[in-house]
Amino acid sequence: MKAAHGTGSGQRRQPHDRWLALVVLCAMTIHTYLKWRWGTLPELLWGCNVASFVIIAGLFLDHPVLVGTGFLWHVSVGEPGYLFGVIQTGHTTWISVLVHSLPTVAAFLSLRRTGLPRPSPWLAFALFVALVPISHYLTPARFNVNLAHERLWLLQRHFPGNWDYRFAFGLIMLAILLLADWGFGAWLGRPDGKSDSLNPVGSA
């Protein structure tokens, strides 16, 4: 467990965070352009892409809660999902590798200094809850963005109903996010300096 992190603006504010934000923004700009060229622009609503923009905003605004929200989404959901897709299809692109690694590394470097704020997993979960219906109504079914159009077969098998599937999916996502928050909170520390060793969730 790291020592307590300072929370004053004088202690937290670091110019290199904005440089990190600029680097990630450049990568996401190229990513957006290529999505447009390839006719896959709706895929920008995938949670990992939205989380990257959340990280950019957090780094620019010196807002660790936003940085932590995007970071937890990436390490809990985005990167495992991306790796599973690569294994399943045997295909990826250089820009996909870049935008699935650079934002996570940038966020990690910032959170090493500030600590991982406790509200971050809850905001990441709220992001999940919001993105599924948004993706369902705003993106074509063929992209299956955020699994909004085609359900996970394993969950569908055990939870065939509409609401029980949603509840199970949401509960699993929340558990994954809280587990990642506990692990990285113990590693990176918290802004309040309180230990997470016996309390995975903690209180704000």
Domain residue spans of the chain: 12-188
Q: For position 4, what pLDDT does the model report?
A: 46
Give pLDDT tens digits for 45-77.
999 999 999 999 999 999 999 999 999 999 999
- How would residue 109 be classed by pLDDT, with cut points 50, 70 and 90? very high
Contact 114, 63 (CB under 8 A): no
Q: For position 3, what pLDDT does the model report?
A: 43
Percent of the chain with pLDDT over 90: 72
Q: For position 195, what pLDDT does the model report?
A: 56
Contact 72, 35 (CB under 8 A): no
- How would residue 79 be classed by pLDDT, with cut points 50, 70 and 90? very high
Closest to 77 in 3D by CA, of 140, 124, 34: 124
pTM, two decimal places: 0.87
CA–CA dist 7, 189 (Å, integer):
12
Q: Which amino acid is at 138?
A: L
User: Which whole number is the average pLDDT over 139-157?
Assistant: 87
pLDDT at 23 over 90: yes
Q: Which residue has better confidence, 89 or 49? A: 49
Element (H, E) at 112: helix 94-114
Q: At CB < 8 A and 24+ separation, what contacts does 24-30 make?
A: 24/52, 24/55, 24/56, 24/59, 24/102, 24/103, 24/106, 25/56, 27/95, 27/98, 27/99, 27/102, 27/103, 28/52, 28/53, 28/56, 28/99, 28/103, 30/95
